[in-house]
Structure 1
Amino acid sequence: MYRALIQKAEPYIKEGDETIIRKAFKFAVNAHKDVRRRSGEPYIYHPVAVATIVVEEIGLGTTSIVAALLHDVVEDTDYTLQDIEERFGPKVARIIDGLTKITETTSKSESIQAENFRKMLLTISEDIRVVLVKLADRLHNMRTLSSMSLDKQLKIKSETEYIYAPLAHRLGLYNIKSELEDLSLRYSNRKVYNEISEKLEETEEQRKRFTKSFVKPLEKDLKKHNFEFRIKARTKSVTSIYKKMRKQGIPFEEVFDLFAIRIIFDSPLPEEKSVCWRIYSIVTDHYTPNVKRLRDWISVPKANGYESLHTTVMGPDGHWVEVQIRSSRMDEIAEKGYAAHWKYKEGSGKGGINKERGIEQWLNEVRDILEDDKSNAIEFLDDFRSNLFNKEVFVFTPNGDLRVFPHSATVLDFAFEIHTEVGAKCLGAKINGKLVPLNHELKNGDQVEILTANKSKANEDWLKFVKTSKARKKIKDYLREDKKQVASLGREVVERKFKQMKEPFNDKTVSQLREYFGLRTELDLYFKIGNGDIDHTEIKKFREMKEENQKSPKYVPEDAKEFKQKIRQIRKEGDELVIGEDMDSVHYSIAPCCNPIAGDDIFGFITINSGIKIHRTDCPNAVSLMANYGYRIIKARWASQKDEEYDVLLYIEGTDRIGLVNDVTKMISTQLRVNIKAISIDTHSSIFKGHITLSVRDSREAEKMIAKLKEIDGIIRINREV
C-alpha cells in the first residue's frame, strides 16, 4: 500500500522527499492505531488512499502528499496543529487546519456544515491545495460510502452534489467531477444508475466496433502527414447521460452522442494551434462537419483552463460524432485541471500559457467573495456556488477588450465587473449600438457600452437577475449600508417593546423573534421593523404565541438538538420516524414543495417552529437541506399500507390529435379506475401540454398508471411532477 503510493509519487517528488513522506506515514499509522473505519478496514487505509488520489489523479507533490496522510490526525486524535507544525512545518499545518472541521460546541452558526464549507473555501486564496486534498478525501469517502447508514449516505451524497462536484469541475478536474456525480446518482437513484450502467456495458462492444471503423481512415491520413498522435474514445458519464435523457425526455437508446473521439498529438507549444486546425482539416475531409457545433477553446480557453478544438461530424452510420482535438499539454490540463495548469504556468515564464482570463481570473473573483466577511455561512455558500458556473459567454468592451461571464449574465453584471461605482449608477447599456435595460442577458460577441446616471441607485430587485458573485456582493454591500441605518431604528423599537412586555432582550429571544417572522438574519428583522414592513403590534402577537406554546401540551421545539432528543423518544424502530403510526406527540406535516405520497423514499427535516417536514429524497430542495443542515435530517419511512389516498400531479405532453385527451381520461377513469381531481390542457403548434391531478393509494400505483398511459398512441411524455 505505502510502496504503491511511493511508486506513483516518483514523477512528482524531488530526490530526498521520500524521507518526509515516510515520516508522515509512520506518524499517521501511530496516530490512528487500533482505529477502524465503518467498513472494518484499518483507518490508515483511508489517508493512504487519499494521498494516492492526490498524486495519481490530481498530480500534486510532496507537501500535499504529507498533508493527505495527516489530514484526519488533528480532527480525530489528541494531536494538535502545533504538533503538526513542529514536525512537518507551517505549510502542512495550514493545509490540515483548513481541512479540520469546526466542532458543534464551538460554532454558533445555524448550519455547522455551511460553516465548515466556508472555513475550507476561505483557504482558496491562500493555498488551493486545501481544496484539492479535500476533493481527494471526498472522492475516497464516496467510493467507500456503502458501509455507511442510509441517512449518512444521503447527507454525504447531497454535500457532494451541492458543492464538491461543481468545485471539481470549476478547477478542471473533469474525471473527479464525473465520478463524484455518478456516485451521488448511485446513492440517490440506484435504479436509474444501474439501468444506465448495464446498458452502457451491453453496448460497449458495439461502440468499440464503431470507433475502430470511424478512426481507421483518420489514422491513415494522420500518419501520412507525419503527426505523432494517439486516438481514444471517451464514453459519457452515467450522470451526463441521465441529464440528457431527462432534459430531452428520451430513452437511453435515443441518446446518440454517448461518447466522443479524442485526437491527442505531440507538438512544440508555438505550433499547437496550427496543428489543431490542420488535424481538423483532415477530419472534415473524411466526415461532414456540423458548422453550428464548432467549439474553439484553443483561441479562448474556458475559465478553468480547458483548451481543445471540438467539432461534431456526421459518422458513417448517419449519427453525429463529437471529435476533440488537443495537444498532450492540453490533455493533461483537461485531465488534472488546476494542478497541471499551474505546472505549465510556472514553466512558461512571465504570464504563463493560460492568460489572466482563465483560472487566475476566477481565483481573483473568489478572493472578492472571500473579502466579504459580513454575510452568514449560508449566504456565503450561495454566493460561492453562483461563481461555479460552467457555461460562459464572451463579450467585448467598447475598446475591444474581451470579457468572460457566466451564461445568462446581464448588463448589470458587466457594469459591476468594470467598476463598483459604474455598477451602482448603471442605468442600462448600448449593445451593438442598441439601447437595452439592466436585466438584458449578454450573448456571445456582444459589444457592451454601459450607461450611468447619478440618480440611479442599487436596489433589492437587482439581486433577482444578476448572476456573478461579484455583482451580488457589491449590491449587498450597498443595501447593507442602507439597511443598517433603518435597522438601528428597528432595534430601538424591539428593545422598547420587549421592555414594555417584560421580555428579556437577549440573543435567545431576538433569535426566536427572527424565526417567528421567518427571517434569516437579525439585520433583516430590525430592518423590516424599522421601515414598517412588520407592524409593531406583531411583536405583541409573538409574545402571545410564546405564552400559548408554554401552556399547550403539544411539543414545540426551541432548539434543533432538543427537538431531536424528543424525536428519538417516540421513534418506533431504531433511529427512524414511521409516518402513519400513532404519532400524536410529534408535530409533522407533508412538505408542499415535493408532496410525497406513500411508497416514496422520504426523510424528515426538523424545522425550528413547524415541527418535522416530510420530504421526498428527490425533492428539489433535498440536496440543499442535506448539504447545509445534515444534523437536522432524520430517517423516515411509511407505515404499512392503509386505506388512504393521495393527490399526485402528472405532467403530460402529446400530439394534438382528435380524441387523444378523451383516450387519456377514459383510460384513467374506466380501465385504471382512478379518480381525476383536476385537469388542465393547452395546445400550441399541434402539441398539447398539461397537468392532471389524480387520487392514488401509493407511488407504485402512480408508476403503474404512468406506464399504462405511455402506451396511448400520441403520448410523447408523461411523468410525475415534484
Structure 2
Amino acid sequence: MNTIEDLCDRLKGYLPAEEIQQVRRAYYYAEQAHDGQKRSSGEPYVTHPLAVATILANLHLDHQALMAALLHDVIEDTGVNKEAISQQFGESVAELVDGVSKLTQIKFESKAEAQAENFRKMVLAMAEDIRVILVKLADRLHNMRTLGALRADKKRRIAKETLEIYAPIANRLGINTLRLELEDLSFQAIYPMRYERLKRAVQKVRGHRKEVVKKIQNRLQERLDQDGLSGRVVGREKNVLSLYRKMKHQKKSFHEIMDVYAFRVLTESVDDCYRVLGSVHNTYKPVPGRFKDYIAIPKANGYQSLHTTLFGLSGMPIEVQIRTREMEAMANNGVAAHWLYKAGQTERPIAEGSHARARQWVKGLLEMQQRAGDSLEFIEHVKVDLFPDEIYVFTPRGDIMELPKGSNAVDFAYAVHTDIGHACVACRVDRKLAPLSMKLESGQTVEVITAPGARPNLAWLSFVTTAKARSAIRHYLKQQQRTESEALGRRLLEKALLQFDVQLEQLAPERLEQLAQEMELDSVSALMASIGLGERMAYAVARRLLDQQKYEEKPRQDSSSAMIIHGTEGMVISFARCCRPIPGDSILGHISFGSGIVVHRDTCRNLADIRDNLDKCLPLEWAAETEGDFAVHLRLVIEHQRGMIARIATLVTEMDANLERISVDDRDAKLSTLTLELSVKNRVHLARVMKHLRLIPEVGKVVRLR
C-alpha cells in the first residue's frame, strides 16, 4: 500500500519542494474529511484518492491536478463544499474537483440518465480544463483495479461503462497505457472465464515462440547495425481484449491470430524512421497494401508511426511499427505527454500539438452537447465519435480532412463547417458527380456543391456516420419543426378564436404569457408550437384564453372557413399514405398528436369515425398557387404486348409526370395488372395523364387507387 511519503518521493523527480508541500497538505485535508469512511474492501477511504494521485504522478501531472486527485471525492462524499476547497487550495483546484464530482443533489429518473448527465457535466468542465478528464480516468482506473469487493452485477455495469466511454476517451486522448489497462480490466470483469482462458493460452504460446521471436528480433537488429542505423528492436505484446476482438470480428481461431509476430523499432529521428523502413523491407519482403504512414498523416489522437507487414520465415506474417522515442512517449501518454515534457522543462511541439488536438476534440464535444436534445442523446453521439477508424480525404485545395471509416460527402461537408453541411445539395468525388450517400475512401478528393436556401434532409440521418453531422442535422430539423409548428399553431388558434368572433391580435400579450405559464410551458412560442404539433387542441386553448362564463353557452360552429394549405408548410403538414391526396381533391386535416396535421381526402375511410369531431378534424382547402409534386397510385389492366411497359413509361414522362415505381401482376395468359406510382402537379394534371393512358389501344382500364 502506497503512503503519502511514497508519493512525495516520486514527485521529487519533477516538482519543486513548495509544490510537493501543497500536495502533502491536500492529502492531510482529504484524510481528515474522509475520516471514518471505508471502501467496500474495508480499507480506509483515503487510500483511493492517494492511489489516483499516484497514477497521475506516473504521468508527471502538475501539483494542482495531483491536489484535485487527492480531493476529488471530498465534495461528493463529505460535508465539504466547493467554496471551502477554493479558500484552502485556490480556484483552479476547486474547479477541477467540482468537474470530477457527480451530480448528487439532483434526482434522476434512471441510472442511465444520471450517468449521461454526469458525463455531460464532466465534458463542460473538460472544455475549461482538460486535466478534469485525466483525473477522472485515473479515478476510474483505480476503481477498476479494486472491483473485487463489489457485487457481480455492479462489476459488470461499471466495466461496461468503462469499455464504452472511458477506455475510448483514453484512446482518443492518446493515453495508451491507461487505455490498455482499462480494457483488460473491463474484459476481465465482464467475461472472467474467457479472459482467464485467453490469458493462459497467450502465456503458453509465448513460451513456445520465444526462440522464433528472438531469431527474428536478432536478424532485424543485425540488419540495422550493418546499415549503420540507430534503432532498437523490441517485441510487442497484444492485449487480451484486442485478441478477443480480432478473433470475433475476423472469425479466426486463436492460433491464426497468434501466428502474427509483432515488433517495434525505436529510432532517434523521423529521417531514421524512413531509413529503417527501407532496411526492414530489404530483410523481409513487404506484404503489398499493408503499409501505413501515420507520421505524414497522424491519427486523430496524435499517434505517429510507420506500420508495415512482412513475409517472414516460411511465409509467417511479421508486423513492424517504426517510430522515434518521442513518438513512443506520445503513443503511451498522449495528451499527458504535454505535462511529461513540461516537467522536463523541454517544450516539445509534438506534445503541444497533441494538447491542441485534444482541446479541438473537446470543443467538438461541446458543440454536440449544445445541439443535443438531452444528455442521453448526447452520450449516444459521443459513443459514435469515440470509435473512429479513420480515412483521409482531400479538399479541392489539397487540405487533408480526417473522417471515420464509412463516412460520406454529408459527413465531409459538416466536418468542413456546419453551414456548408446544411446547404449541401450534391458532391463531386475525384471531379465526378457522386451520390451524397456514397462511402468515401482514403486519398479521394471531395468537393461539396451547395445551394442557397437548401436545408438538411431527414433521410440523411439514415446514412451519416459522424456524430457532428448527426447532431447538427437533428438540431436543425428540431428547430425547423419548432418554427413550422409555431406558425401552424398560431393559424389554428386564430381559426378557433373566430368561433367566438375574436381575433388573436385583440388579446393582451400578458394573457397569452399567463396561459403558457398555467400550462407549464416556458413561452408563448412553446404554446403555439404545442398546438401546431397537435399536443393541445386549439379550441380548448381558445376557451381558456377567453372568459369561459361569457362564452360557454355560445354554440360551436362547424366553420365553413377552411384553412388554406400550400403544400410547402414543411414537417408539420404531411400527406396521408392511405388515400394520397393531391391538389384539386376535397380534403380534411386530421390533427395528430406530435405530428401536426395529416392531410386526407375527405372520402378517406380512415376518417369515418372522427370526421365530425372538430377537435380532431378540420376542413382544409388547397391554395390556388399550390406547387410541388404529389404521389398518386394508378392501376392499369393491359393486354400482353412486347414493349408495353416501355411505351407506358415513355408516355408518362412525355406528360411531364414522374414514374416513381411500377409493379406487374399477371392475371391470365392475355391480361396483366400494372400498379404505377406517379408524381403529379394536381388533379387536372393527373386527369390528363389518365386520358392519354386510355388512348393506348392495349390499355383496357385505368383507375386511381383510393
Which TM-score tier does this pair reach, normalised by the shorter chain? 0.5 to 0.7
CA distance in 2, matches of 1:357, 1:71: 25
CA distance in 1, matches of 2:337, 2:349: 17
Deviates more, 1:458-467 or 1:8-17: 8-17
Partner of 2:416: 418
1:459-608 to structure 2, matched below 5 A, reads 459-488=457-486, 489=489, 491-492=530-531, 493-496=534-537, 528-532=594-598
CA distance in 1, matches of 2:205, 2:16: 44
- Give the letter aligned to residue 328 of structure 1: R
Per the TM alignment, residue 225 of structure 1 is displaced from its structure 2 partner at its CA by 4.7
CA contact (8 A) 2:368 2:468 kept: yes
CA contact (8 A) 1:53 1:136 kept: yes
CA contact (8 A) 2:535 2:594 kept: no
Which structure 2 residue ranges, 5 or more long, are not aligned? 490-528, 545-590, 601-605, 611-706
CA contact (8 A) 1:232 1:262 kept: yes
Partner of 1:192: 194
CA distance in 1, matches of 2:167, 2:56: 16
1:325-336 to structure 2, matched below 5 A, reads 325-336=322-333
CA contact (8 A) 2:425 2:449 kept: yes
Per the TM alignment, residue 204 of structure 1 is displaced from its structure 2 partner at its CA by 2.1
Alpha-carbon distance change, 357 to 53 in structure 1, aligned in 2, over 3 angstroms: closer
CA distance in 2, matches of 1:351, 1:339: 12
CA distance in 1, matches of 2:457, 2:143: 43
Alpha-carbon distance change, 240 to 452 in structure 1, aligned in 2, over 3 angstroms: same
CA contact (8 A) 1:68 1:133 kept: yes
CA distance in 1, matches of 2:599, 2:31: 60
Partner of 1:392: 390
Choose between structure 1 and 2 for higher RCO, CA contacts under 8 A separated by at least 6 residues.
1
CA distance in 1, matches of 2:359, 2:84: 34
Supply the RMSD in Å over aligned alpha carbons: 3.0
Partner of 1:594: none
Per the TM alignment, residue 395 of structure 1 is displaced from its structure 2 partner at its CA by 0.9
CA contact (8 A) 1:426 1:438 kept: no
Q: Choose the corresponding residue for 2:399, options 394, 398, 401.
A: 401
Per the TM alignment, residue 276 of structure 1 is displaced from its structure 2 partner at its CA by 0.1
CA distance in 1, matches of 2:355, 2:12: 31
Q: Choose the corresponding residue for 2:172, options 170, 189, 202.
A: 170
Alpha-carbon distance change, 358 to 103 in structure 1, aligned in 2, over 3 angstroms: closer
Alpha-carbon distance change, 208 to 62 in structure 1, aligned in 2, over 3 angstroms: farther
CA contact (8 A) 2:213 2:235 kept: yes
CA contact (8 A) 1:143 1:183 kept: yes
Correspondence 1:35 to 2:37: yes
Partner of 2:303: 306
Per-residue CA deviation, residues 81-124 of structure 1 (Å, 9 max, x unaligned), is 11111111111111111111112645578711110111112222
Per the TM alignment, residue 207 of structure 1 is displaced from its structure 2 partner at its CA by 3.5
CA distance in 2, matches of 1:151, 1:419: 43
Which structure 1 residue ranges, 5 or more long, are not aligned? 504-524, 539-722
Q: Choose the corresponding residue for 1:445, options 443, 446, 452.
A: 443
Helix, strand or coil at the partner of 1:111:
helix
Q: Choose the corresponding residue for 1:380, options 378, 381, 393.
A: 378
CA distance in 2, matches of 1:248, 1:172: 25
Alpha-carbon distance change, 120 to 361 in structure 1, aligned in 2, over 3 angstroms: closer
Correspondence 1:365 to 2:367: no
CA contact (8 A) 1:12 1:60 kept: no
Correspondence 1:282 to 2:323: no
Alpha-carbon distance change, 357 to 119 in structure 1, aligned in 2, over 3 angstroms: closer
Per the TM alignment, residue 234 of structure 1 is displaced from its structure 2 partner at its CA by 2.0
Partner of 1:506: none
Partner of 2:251: 249
Per the TM alignment, residue 26 of structure 1 is displaced from its structure 2 partner at its CA by 0.8
Partner of 1:97: 98
Per-residue CA deviation, residues 445-493 of structure 1 (Å, 9 max, x unaligned), is 1111111233532122212222223222321232122111344436234
CA contact (8 A) 1:411 1:429 kept: yes
CA distance in 1, matches of 2:6, 2:209: 33
Q: What is the aligned length?
A: 510
Helix, strand or coil at the partner of 1:491:
helix
Alpha-carbon distance change, 174 to 81 in structure 1, aligned in 2, over 3 angstroms: same
Per the TM alignment, residue 403 of structure 1 is displaced from its structure 2 partner at its CA by 1.1
CA distance in 1, matches of 2:354, 2:251: 40
Alpha-carbon distance change, 60 to 348 in structure 1, aligned in 2, over 3 angstroms: closer
Helix, strand or coil at the partner of 2:98:
helix
CA contact (8 A) 1:305 1:337 kept: yes
TM-score by length of 1: 0.66
Per-residue CA deviation, residues 99-154 of structure 1 (Å, 9 max, x unaligned), is 11112645578711110111112222111111111011111111111110122112
Identity %: 37
TM-score by length of 2: 0.67
CA contact (8 A) 2:261 2:317 kept: no
CA distance in 1, matches of 2:452, 2:89: 56
Alpha-carbon distance change, 295 to 497 in structure 1, aligned in 2, over 3 angstroms: same
Partner of 2:585: none
Correspondence 1:74 to 2:82: no
